Amino acid sequence: MPHLKLRDGAELFYKDWGNPNGSIVIFSHGWPLSSDNWENQMFYLADQGYRVIAHDRRGHGRSTQTWHGNNMDTFVDDLEELFSYLKVKDAVMVGHSHGGGEVTHYLGKHGTGRFKKAVLVGAVPPLMLKTNSNPEGTEKSVFDTFRQAMRKDRAQFFLDVPSGPFFGFNRSGAEKSEGQIRSWWQQGMNTSFKSAYDSIKDFSETDFTEDLKRINIPVLVLHGDDDQVVPIEAAGLKSSKLLPQGKLKIYKGGSHAIHNVNVEEVNKDLLDFIKS
């Protein structure tokens, strides 16, 4: 399995699928998952002739479980090393949830030189946390309960999240997938406790407002209007307005995991946007 040794000795796992000479699409996963969460989109686009690349964020999946560096600045610096090594250029960047924050901060910090477009799916920007200037955000006490649940029984907490709000399986009439739940649990438990714990603060308290304003390429924002994890009012609706070239598509009744639940629709939207 390919790994890249980073500047501090940590090893970053990545997948590099499809046509090696095809146009490049990069995927960044959400919390507390791995590149496996994008497998449907990666397979679909690779089958269309694209080169698709996805990494396991440090501390996640098959990457090194570092004790320090579980923060957005480190994550995006890791990506710049990976993109330099793989000679990424003229590519499209796609991120879900925490990974959408990673995409946003990468483009805000390192610029858009390697990329022509980006896609944010159920992404955390501009800011999840409720503040005086962000009244639509989520109370800090909610994220405190995440940390408490991890300390008490991480394994059970990582069953409760996918069984309920993540995929929207707690909604009346939802078609529950035991396989999706087990896959989420497995990915989450393969992430280090420290990285998963630290990342709660990272995805909830990082303010991406200025990053969004700096992104000078077209960005497609896909968000479910029944996202129980990252409510659209505090995220997709705001991000699409802050982005200089933002375009919003709302998935009616869509959960936080529209790319896992509404697979065919998301795949089509990605391909249409990439080709446009």
pLDDT by residue (tens digit) across 89-132? 999 999 999 999 999 999 999 999 999 999 999 999 999 999 99
Residues tagged active-site = 97, 227, 256
Give the distance from CA 216 to its chain's centroid: 20
State the pLDDT at residue 115: 98
Which tens digits make up the pLDDT trace of 70-84?
Answer: 999 999 999 999 999
Name the pTM for this structure: 0.97
Determine what percent of the chain is predicted with pLDDT higher than 70: 100
Do 212 and 236 meet the contact criterion of CB atoms below 8 Å apart? no
Residues 6+ apart with CB under 8 A from 10: 58, 63, 64, 66, 69, 78
Residues 6+ apart with CB under 8 A from 213: 242, 243, 244
Q: Hey, what amino acid is at 268?
A: K
Domain 3-275 falls in which CATH fold? Answer: Rossmann fold (3.40.50)
State the pLDDT at residue 83: 98
Return d(Cα 263, Cα 15) in angstroms, integer: 20
State the pLDDT at residue 113: 98
Return d(Cα 193, Cα 176) in angstroms, integer: 27
